[in-house]
Amino acid sequence: MNDWQAVIGLEIHVQLNTRSKLFSGASTAYGAEPNTQASWVDVALPGTLPVPNIEAIRKAVTFGLAVGADVAAESIFARKNYFYPDSPKGYQISQYERPIVAGGTILARLDDGREITVQLTRAHLEEDAGKSVHDAFHAASGIDLNRAGTALIEVVSEPVMHSSAEAVAYMKAVHRLVRWLDICDGNLQEGSFRCDANVSVHQPGTPFGTRCEIKNVNSFRFVEKAIDYEIERQIRAIENGERIVQETRLYDAAANKTRTMRSKEDAEDYRYFPDPDLPPIRVTATEFDALRATLPELPDARRSRYIDAHGLTAYDANKLTEERSTSDYFEAVANALPGHSKLVANWVNGELAAALNEAQSAITASRIGAPALAGLLARIVDGTISGKIAKDVFAAMWAGEQSADAIIDARGLRQISDSGAIGQMLDDVLAQFPEQVAKYRAGDAKLFQFLVGQAMKATKGKANPTQVNELLRERLGVTG
Amino acid sequence: MSALTLAAQRAALSAGRCSRDLTEEALARAASTASLNALISCDAEGARAAAIGDGPLSGIPFAHKDLFCTRGLRTTCASKMLAEFVPPYDATIVERLTSAGAVSIGKTNMDEFAMGSSNENSAFGPVLNPWDTTRVPGGSSGGSAAIVAANVVAFATGSDTGGSVRQPAAFCGVTGFKPSYGRVSRYGMVAYASSLDQAGVIARSAADCADVLQAMAGHDPRDATSVDRTVDDYRAALDRGVRGLRIGIARELFSAGVSDAMQTTVHRALHELEAAGAILVEIDLPSLPLSIPAYYVIAPAEASSNLARYDGVRYGRRAAAVKGLHDLYSRSRAEGFGTEVKRRILTGTYVLSSGYYDAYYLRAQQVRRLIANDFARAFATVDLIAGPTTPDVAFKLGEKTADPLAMYAADINTVAVNLAGLPAMSVPAGFIGGLPAGLQLIGQAFDEASLFAAGHALQSRTDWHLAMAPGAVR
């Protein structure tokens, strides 16, 4: 029996990169001393009240518009009631019956090039919980409420994925989108982007199996491994005649396995009800229009444009649209060099990417800005320097020297394109290597490249290579 | 000494008494009426140190209900849970009354977390009614009503979730005003039932309530339910009179549960308004009888959630020598909360539970809409609605404590107003067997002005509101 099919749905917690929290003015900056970023509201002092952060609502709407969802003109905050020390009010303000975003789709591309379209159920606004600190005190746990109240959207997919590869591709697509939209910093280590995975298995044509939820996985790799483990565990259990019980499980990365956190019988009744402290969230048509107008061109649209209008390969287009900053950089350079997008893509994905990677630098902080790179590539395009020399110039620019033109002039790197001068130089080379010339003429074809190499060496690489080839052929009496 | 009004206090100030004198006198009166148990905390030091601004209530002593957060002064909500809780911040209305120049002498007793109608649910003991110390002052703002009736201060703040300002005002023979939902900020007012809670004021007269509300009212960006809408000039409204004003006499407010004597007394007061030019019109509020069950579902539901924060973790009562987290929660809450609070938390938890939500909470919300629609229909033909504030006069201490349902049922005339978010006022309407009766006037949302006009018109023709309780300082 190996016709099992996994059914996977993800709930992704996307921490919104607002400066203050969803319902209080406290800062959301990561890494501060415990409880220094918790206001009276976050500590849930008696009498305090939540006031919605308009910026967070705008970011949620932006997400909805970007995934083509129905964005509610009126949605409702609800209280999810449960007792836990990191939940200072005894309830979490979330959305239940009327979320701000309903439906929508995400296009995800797998490593093998296959594309899947993942339907979203909803995305709702909610506040994050605080954190329990278990290792700071002897025989007691501490509570850090710095994170309590930070704005999130929880993006819930339909159970439409069938493998860990699909789930990870989808998670990466959401990750790319929320960073592209500048609504989340996407930092998985700091927990800005984390995921719960619902996994079940069944045989196609039969009803869905009982699902288990794997909580709080915060890396792409762990999601993949946790899902793979869980699929295998469920299949093994069923084939051993066991029944899968609905439960919440935790992924233990060290052991690479999931284990029971709580079963459905222990599941809490959250007693959701509309939060009476918060009027419905209303988004007017004017606000919709304003947000739609500021929506950036989305990565998939750019990718298609790069392939169709710029003639780039799918590989280049994918790489350039992984991050908006890379794509914006590419556009800035490509716009300065119409008709040479391929050259630009090669440089952005090649030389620049390598240099940034080595320097551990973001492209927005690149030592060579888009106008500077455009200045360099323009010299290749107009024949002033060869691509090979350009790499040296690039290195000089990266090291902090001036513009491409200044470096080319200062070092005398201008390409030699004077046929007379090149011819003269070739005559000297031929005179210098009579033996090799004779062997070539006797049929040893590979000595042609040796002579080209000597010519380039004689000009320190500055001779126009096309002309060198042409004139050398002429001199050696080769046609074609 | 006659009834303590703002006018009398201002007269004293302009006659050369200084604010400090008024404060000392109020503190002395508070001390001499301590047996009423109207104050949980007396803040003599704070009152003496108060910097008197140049506001409309400049130099006038008053008291806050002990659920408004006061920076540096404990705010107990009459609960063991918060017996030692000292807020680090002032409620918005505390800030506003301070900047209007008023001087708080302390915090008034109340039913625990504002849950109750008799002030018998206080961890600090019951408050006694200055008219008859064997009777309750009403609740939950019982301390505020008693301290005004006892002539200690000219006014006190209160909060009204289902009648908690109006009912004690009626029982104590003083004027109690509950503004429209959203008119006054709830920031810093410890929440009982958020969709119903509204801060109010208890004073001798409608005119005094108008002055105090003027200082309290207005939009507050810290409360998302506070309404950004111009506050009317209440003092100007006082002299509008009631000529041509249409007052609806709601049959359901004079229903079977209301004593004959109360009906007669309130009708007599209404005839005074008629004599002043008001037009009395009979109206119906058919859904009003459903307001008690709807209220006692919605309010506990919200309370069960609002009071979840009292978990012993960050502030408030924390049980000693606990064994683990669950024990910390259950014992802190078992020790910290009184019986009525526990009853409402349990009720509220039940009605929100999976499988019961639709039958209780959702149904109650539907009833709430019916009630609001009833009022809207009535206000198409009348300007105000009138009836007795309570079915009867103040009852005896202990009389209803064994029967919570009987206690709840007595709220029948006040809770609908909160469910509909309307402004309402209880004004003294005469006496029954030496005990005060209250006339309740209900207005359209944000038409506080008409209530002040009607209340003042009545109080210009009558002196029930100035009558002195036997337990008052003379």
CATH of the domain at B207: 3.90.1300.10
- Whether B137 is covered by a domain: the verdict is yes
**What are the backbone angles phi and psi of residue B359, rounded to the nearest 5°?**
-70, -30
On whether any CB of chain B is under 8 Å from the CB of A381, the answer is no
Measured between beta carbons, the chain A residues lying within 8 angstroms of B349 are: 271
pLDDT tens, chain B, 474 aa long: 789 999 999 999 989 888 889 999 999 999 999 999 999 999 999 999 987 767 889 999 999 999 999 999 999 999 999 999 999 999 999 999 999 999 999 999 999 999 999 999 999 999 999 999 999 999 999 999 999 999 999 999 999 999 999 999 999 999 999 999 999 999 999 999 999 999 999 999 999 999 999 999 999 999 999 999 999 999 999 999 999 999 999 999 998 799 999 999 999 999 999 999 999 999 999 999 999 999 999 999 999 999 999 999 999 999 999 999 999 999 999 999 999 999 999 999 999 999 999 999 999 999 999 999 999 999 999 999 999 999 999 999 999 999 999 999 999 999 999 999 999 999 999 999 999 999 999 999 999 999 999 999 999 999 999 999 999 998
Residues of B in contact with A38 (CB under 8 A): none
Q: Quickly list H helices, B67-153.
A: 92-99, 142-149
pLDDT surpasses 60 at A307: yes
The reply to whether A139 touches chain B by the CB within 8 Å rule is no
What pLDDT sits at residue A389?
87
Return the structure tokens found at A473.
């052929």
Which one of B309, B315, B353 has the shortest CB-CB distance to A269?
A: B353
* Closest A-chain CA to B223: A49
Q: What does R_g of chain A's alpha carbons equal in angstroms? A: 30
Shortest distance between the Cα of A78 and any Cα of chain B, in A, equals 11
User: Quick check: helix, strand or coil at residue A44?
Assistant: coil
CA–centroid distance for A123 within its chain: 20
At B471, which amino acid appears?
G
Sign of dihedral through CA atoms A38, A44, A46, A51?
positive
A47 and B302 in contact by Cβ < 8 A?
no
Chain A's closest residue to B189, CA to CA, is A47
Count: domains in chain B: 1
Question: 């009906």: which residue's tokens?
Answer: B263
The helix, strand and coil proportions of chain A, stated in percent and rounded to the nearest 5, come to 40, 20, 40
The rounded distance, in Å, linking the Cα atoms of B474 and B470 is 9
A451 vs B208, more confident: B208
Instruction: With CB atoms and an 8 Å threshold, state whether B191 touches A46.
Output: yes
CATH 3.30.300.20 fits A419-476, yes or no: no
Using CA coordinates, name the residue in chain A closest to B353: A271
Catalytic entry in B164, B226, B426, B450: B164
- Residue among B181, B305, B322, B356 with most chain A CBs within 10 A, to mutate: B305
Q: How far apart are CA B469 and CA B471, in angstroms?
A: 5
Looking at beta carbons, which residues of chain B come within 8 Å of A48? 187-188
Q: Is A46 on the interface with B (CB under 8 A)?
A: yes
Q: What is the C-alpha separation between A394 and A382, in angstroms, rounded?
A: 17
Q: B193 vs chain A: nearest CA distance in angstroms? A: 8
Tokens of B239: 């002299």
Q: Provide the pLDDT for residue B200.
A: 98
Q: Which among B41, B104, B122, B140 is annotated as catalytic?
A: B140
Instruction: State the Cα–Cα distance between residues A129 and A278, nearest whole angstrom.
Output: 19
Q: Name which of B87, B305, B329 is nearest A81 (Cβ-Cβ).
A: B305
Strands (E), B184-245: 199-203
A91 neighbourhood in chain B, CB within 8 Å? 305, 308
The answer as to whether B394 is a domain residue is no
Helix (H) or strand (E) holding A419: helix A419-432
Q: Is B305's CB within 8 Å of A90's CB?
A: yes
> To which H or E segment does residue A242 belong?
none
| pLDDT at residue number A474 | 86
Residues in A closer than 8 angstroms to B186, CB to CB, are 47, 49
Question: Could you say which of A40, A44, A279 has the minimum Cβ distance to residue B224?
Answer: A279
Q: How far is B84 from chain A (nearest CA, A)?
A: 13
The number of beta carbons lying within 10 Å of the beta carbon of residue A378 is 16
Look at A79 and B329 and tell me if their CB atoms are within 8 Å: no
Segments making up each domain of chain A, as ranges:
5-286, 305-407, 419-476
Contact A45 B195 (CB under 8 A): no
Which amino acid appears at position B66 of this protein? D
CB pairs under 8 A between A and B: 99
Residue with tokens 């924390």: B318
A143 vs B: CB within 8 A: yes
User: Could you tell me which of B133, B124, B148 has the C-alpha nearest to residue B200?
Assistant: B148
Q: Is the CB of residue A25 less than 8 Å away from at least one CB of chain B? A: no
Other CB atoms within 10 A of residue A287 CB: 15
Residue A88 to residue B309, Cβ atoms within 8 A: yes
State the average pLDDT over residues A221-233.
96
- The answer to whether A45 contacts chain B (CB < 8 Å) is yes
- Residue B155: name the closest of B31, B48, B4 by CA: B4
Determine how β-strand A151-157 pairs with β-strand A115-127: antiparallel
Q: How many CB atoms lie within 10 A of CB B256?
A: 6
A271 close contact with B: CB closer than 8 A: yes
Residue of B nearest to A281 (CA): B224
Q: Which residues of B touch A44 (CB under 8 A)?
A: 309, 314
Span of A130-139, A338-347, B332-341 with lowest mean pLDDT: A130-139
pLDDT at A479: 56
Query: Are the beta carbons of B130 and B472 closer than 8 angstroms?
Result: yes
Cβ of A47 within 8 Å of Cβ of B188? The answer is yes
- The residue among B94, B313, B326 with the most chain A CBs within 10 A of its CB, best to mutate, is B313
Q: Is A172 exposed, middle or buried (0-12, 13-18, 19+ CB in 10 A)?
A: middle
Q: Is A282 on the interface with B (CB under 8 A)?
A: no
Nearest chain B residue to A273, by CA:
B352
For A50, the closest of B77, B224, B308 (CB atoms) is B224
Q: Considering only CA atoms, give the Rg of chain B.
A: 21
B65 assigned to active site? yes
- Report the distance separating Cα B414 and Cα B431, nearest Å: 20
Cβ–Cβ contacts within 10 Å for residue B36, how many? Answer: 26
User: Given this model, what pLDDT does residue A141 score?
Assistant: 84
- Using a pLDDT cut of 90, give the percent of chain A over it: 74
Nearest chain B alpha carbon to A142: B313
Strand partners, A15: A152
> How many separate helices (H) and strands (E) can be counted in chain A?
17, 17
Going by their DSSP bridges, the two strands B103-108 and B61-65 should be labelled as: parallel
Domain that holds residue B432: 6-243+413-466
Nearest to B89 among A40, A90, A279 (CB): A40
Q: Of A52, A239, A120, give the one whose Cα is nearest residue B224.
A: A52
From chain B, the residues in CB contact with A271 under 8 A are 304-305, 349, 352-354, 357
Nearest-Cα distance to chain A for B354, in Å, is 6
What b/e string do you get for A182-196 counting C-beta neighbours within 10 Å, with b at 16 or more? ebbebebeebbbbbb
Helix (H) or strand (E) holding B288: none
CA-based nearest distance B409→chain A, Å = 25
Q: How far is A314 from chain B (nearest CA, A)?
A: 50
The question of whether B164 is a catalytic residue gets the answer yes
What is the 8-class DSSP label of residue A219? Answer: S
B14 assigned to active site: no
User: Among partner residues B69, B304, B361, which is closest to A46 by beta-carbon distance?
Assistant: B69
DSSP per-residue letters across B359-392: IIIIHHHHHHHHHHHHHHHHTTT-SEEEEESSSS
For chain B, helix, strand, coil in percent to 5 are 40, 15, 45
Question: How many whole angstroms separate alpha carbon B307 and alpha carbon B311?
Answer: 9
| Residue B175 vs residue A258, higher pLDDT | B175
Q: Where are the beta strands (DSSP E) in B214-361?
A: 246-250, 279-283
What is the distance of C-alpha A385 from the center of its chain?
Answer: 35
Sequence-ordered list of residues with C-beta below 8 angstroms from that of A292, at least 6 positions apart, any chain: A65
pLDDT exceeds cutoff 90 at A226: yes
According to the model, what pLDDT value does residue A480 have?
Answer: 45
In this structure, are residues A152 and A133 in contact, taking their beta carbons and an 8 Å threshold?
A: no
Q: What is the mean pLDDT of residues A239-256?
A: 92
Searching chain B, which residue's CA lies closest to the CA of residue A92?
B305
Residue of A23, A24, A42, A48 best to disrupt the B interface, most CBs of B under 10 A = A48
Which residue has tokens 């309010």?
B299
Mean pLDDT of A454-470: 86
A 430-459: CB under 8 A from B: none
Domain presence at residue B440: yes
Cα–Cα distances (Å) from B275 to A81, B240, B281, B285, B388, in that order, read: 54, 15, 14, 25, 19
Residue A265 pLDDT:
67
Residue B45 φ then ψ, to 5°:
-65, -50
Which of A52, A89, A143 lies nearest to residue B309, judging by beta carbons? A89
